[in-house]
Amino acid sequence: MDRFSWTSGLLELGETLVVQQRGVRLGDGEEKVKFDSGVLLLSTHRLIWRDQKNHECCIAVPLSQIVFIEEQAAGIGKSAKIVVHLHPASSNKEPGPFQSSKYSYIKLSFKEHGQIEFYRRLSEEITQRRWESMPTGQAMQVNKDTQAGRIRAVGIVGIERKLEEKRKETDKNISEAFEDLSKLMEKAKEMVELSKSIANKIKEKQGDITEDETIRFKSYLLSMGIANPVTRETYGSGTQYHMQLAKQLAGILQAPLEERGGIMSLTEVYCLVNRARGLELLSPEDLVNACKMLESLKLPIRLRIFDSGVMVIELQSHNEEEMVASALETVSEKGSLTADEFAKLVGMSVLLAKERLLLAEKMGHLCRDDSVEGLRFYPNLFLTQS
Amino acid sequence: MHRRGVGAGAIARRKLAEAKYKERGTVLAEDQLAQMSKQLDMFKTNLEEFASKHKQEIRKNPEFRVQFQDMCATIGVDPLASGKGFWSEMLGVGDFYYELGVQIIEVCLALKHRNGGLITLEELHQQVLKGRGKFAQDVSQDDLLRAIKKLKVLGNGFGIIPVGGTYLIQSVPAELNMDHTVVLQLAEKKGFVTVSEIKSSLKWETERAKQVLEHLLKEGMAWLDEQAPEEPQYWLPALFTELYSQEITPEEAKEAIP
C-alpha cells in the first residue's frame, strides 16, 4: 500500500476513464487497512480509489507500477478479489497514506461484484500500456531506479513461474471445453441443415403435409432453437407447448388483471410470471407466442397491440373504449392532464395511462398540447361545442 | 413427322411421372421427419454429456458464454429463443438470461422518471449488480446486451443505441430515429449539447437541431439549462456520472415491481 499517492481524483488532460466500480475494499497484502468502502476507477494511466463516504479521501497508483494481476474467486462470506502485484515505489513518488509496507501486492475486494469486467479492462490497459503514448499534464513516475530493478528481478521470477503453471492449467481446461463445444456445434449444424431440407420439401408439397407433421416439425425446431425456415417466424403459434402455456397464463393472470383494472403491459406480465416461477423461466418469445394464441383458444384474456407497438394483456371483459369515456371525465374535471398526472390519479402505470389517453385522442375525445413542458391532454371542445 | 412430347400418350406418361414424384415426395418428407426425430434424440444425449462436463464453465465464465453464443449464431441456432429449448433446459443458459431480463426491466422502470427511459450500459450494469446482491453470480455487460436484445420482442420499446464506445439503453416506446441517435452520440462526450455544436458538427440548420432537442426534452430524456453562459445547454440525465452512486429510492422501487 506504500505505492499509493494522495490525489484529487480529477483526471489529467490526456487521461481517460475506462471503467469504475463501487463497493471495493483495499487490502495491503494480507492485512486490512482503513480503505474499506470506495469507488475504484481505472483510467488509461492510473488506478484510483475514492472513499464513498468521504470524497476528499482519494488515492491513486500509476498503472506502470503494476507487474501483473491475478484473480481470486469468491468464497463463502468472501468477495471475489483481484490481486495486484506492484513494483517497489519509486523514490520520487508523491506522498501517500503509507510510508512503507511489508507486502509487494495489494488486494482489491469486490463487495458488490463487477470484478469480471474490471479484471478484463485492467488486463487490457496493462497490455496496451496507453499511458506511454498519451503523456498527461502531471509528471509521469518512470521507474528509472536500477537498484530497485535488480531487486525486482529476483523475487518476481518465482511468482511468474507459478503464474505460468496456473495459466497452462486454465488453458487446458478452457481448450477442452472449446473443443467439446466445437464438436457439439458441428452436430447442431447438421440439425439445422436437415431442418432446411425438410422445410424445402414442405414448400414443394405445398399443403400436402399433414397437420400432425407440421406440429411435429415445429416442436423439433423449438427444441433446437431454430427459426422456422418456411415462415421465417421463430416457430410462431401452433406448438403444443405454447398452447399449454396460453392456458396456464389465462389461469395465472386472472386475479392480477382484476387487481390492475383489467389491463397489464406484456413486460409487467413477463416479470410477474417469471418472479412467480423462480425456475424454468419463460423466454420473452415464449410469452409472446403463447399470448398470440389466446384469442384462437377462446380464453378469458387476450393480447392487444397498440399503435405505438406497446403490447398488453386484457381481460376479455375489459373494454378499453369504455375506459376512455371515464378517462375523458377525469380529464374534464381537472381541465387538462399529462400522462404522469393521469397515472397518479387513477393508479395506473404511466405507460398504460399514456396509451389510454392516446386512444382517447384517436377516438376524438381529447386534444393534445405538445410543448417542451410535456404532452398534455385537453377535452376536445371542437367536438363537444360545435 | 412426330413432334416430341406431344400426343395423348406423352401427356399420360408425364402425368404418371408427376404423380409418382409427388408420392415419393411425401414419403421422403416422412422419412426425413423420422430421421430428424432420431437425430434430435442423439443430439440431446450429446448435449447432456456436454452439460455434465461444462455447465459450470458456462455459468462462471462470461468469455465462454460469448463464444458459445457466437457459435450458435453462426450456425443459425438461438439458444435463448425458448425456455423449452434443449439449450435452456440442459445448460441452464435460459434462466440466467431471462432472470437478468426481469432485473433489467425493474431497474429501467425505477429510474425512468429520472432519465426519461435512457440509461448508459454502465449505470444499468452497476444498478443490476447492486440489485442482485452479494451472493449472486457476476454478470458482464455482454450478458446484459444479450438479455436486452431478447426483451425487444415484448414491445416495450427496448433498444440499444451505440454512443462513443459504449451504449445507451432505451426502455420506453419513444420514437428515436437517426437524427435523435446522432445528437445523443454528440452529447455523450460532455453530457450535454448545444444548438451551435449540432450545427457546426453535423452541418444542420437551426430548425432541424431544435426539433430534435425539443423531442428529447418532451420525452424527458434531456433537461434544459437556460442559465448556461453562452447559450442554452441540453443535458442528458442518462449521462450524469454523479447519478451512478445514487441509490434507487423505496418510492422508485415500488414503481418498478408490478
**What's the pLDDT band for B180 if we cut at 50, 70, 90?**
very high
Same domain, B110 and B43: no
Helix ranges, chain A (H): 115-128, 130-133, 146-205, 211-224, 240-259, 266-277, 284-291, 320-334, 339-346, 350-362, 381-384
Radius of gyration of chain A (CA): 31
What is the mean pLDDT, run by run of 10 residues, along chain A of 386 residues?
85 82 90 89 90 87 88 83 87 84 89 89 87 61 43 58 71 79 90 86 66 80 81 57 92 91 92 91 93 90 91 90 89 91 87 91 91 86 73
Please determine, for residue B23, whether its predicted confidence score (pLDDT) is greater than 60: no
**Domain locations in chain A?**
5-130, 238-315, 320-383
Count of domains forming chain B: 2
User: What kind of fold does domain A320-383 have according to CATH?
Assistant: Arc Repressor Mutant, subunit A (1.10.10)
Same domain, B61 and B102: no
Min Cα distance A150 → chain B (Å) is 37
Same domain, B22 and B72: yes
Same domain, B116 and B55: no
User: What kind of fold does domain A5-130 have according to CATH?
Assistant: PH-domain like (2.30.29)
Mean pLDDT along residues B66-86: 89
Same domain, B113 and B199: yes
Instruction: For residue B143, give the chain A residue with the closest CA.
Output: A117
Whether residues A283 and B80 touch (CB distance < 8 A) is answered with yes
Q: Is there a shared CATH topology between the A238-315 domain and the A320-383 domain?
A: yes
Cell of A277: 416461477
Residue where one domain finishes, among candidates B46, B76, B106: B76
Long-range contacts of A144-152 (CB under 8 A, 24+ apart): A144/A90, A145/A90, A145/A91, A148/A87, A148/A88, A148/A90, A151/A88, A152/A67, A152/A87, A152/A88
Please determine, for residue B2, whether its predicted confidence score (pLDDT) is greater than 60: no
Please determine, for residue B160, whether its predicted confidence score (pLDDT) is greater than 90: yes
The residue among B84 and B25 whose pLDDT is bigger is: B84
Q: Which amino acid is at B247?
A: E
Element (H, E) at A48: strand A46-51
Whether residues B40 and A224 touch (CB distance < 8 A) is answered with yes
Residue where one domain finishes, among candidates B76, B108, B124: B76
Same domain, B72 and B101: no
**What's the pLDDT band for B247 if we cut at 50, 70, 90?**
low
Residue B118 lies in a domain: yes
Q: Which of B54, B64, B154 is the mutation pick for testing A, counting most A CBs within 10 A?
A: B154
Same domain, B106 and B216: yes
Same domain, B30 and B61: yes
Whether B240 and B249 have beta carbons less than 8 Å apart is answered as no
pLDDT at A273: 95
Q: Which of A271, A272, A375 is the mutation pick for testing B, counting most B CBs within 10 A?
A: A271
Same domain, B149 and B234: yes
How do B223-225 and A17-28 pair as beta strands? unpaired
Beta bridge partners of A304: A312
Count of all residues that appear for chain A in the document: 386
Same domain, B72 and B167: no
Same domain, B176 and B249: yes
Residue A318's closest CA among A367, A231, A257, A234?
A257
Residue B106 CB-half CA count within 13 A: 25
Q: Which residue in this structure is represented by grid cell 394464441?
A: A293
Min Cα distance A300 → chain B (Å) is 21
CATH number of domain containing B235: 1.10.10.10
A198 touches chain B (CB under 8 A): yes
B165 touches chain A (CB under 8 A): no
**What's the pLDDT band for B29 if we cut at 50, 70, 90?**
low
Min Cα distance A187 → chain B (Å) is 7
Domain of residue B68: give its range: 16-76
B140 touches chain A (CB under 8 A): yes
pLDDT at B20: 57
CATH class of A238-315: mainly alpha
pLDDT at B4: 59
Whether residues B33 and A216 touch (CB distance < 8 A) is answered with yes
DSSP B197-235: HHHHHH---HHHHHHHHHHHHHTTS-EEETTSSSS-EEE
Highest mean pLDDT among A162-166, B171-175, B193-197: B193-197
B223 touches chain A (CB under 8 A): no
Same domain, B130 and B252: yes
pLDDT at B18: 61
B205 touches chain A (CB under 8 A): no
Residue B5 lies in a domain: no
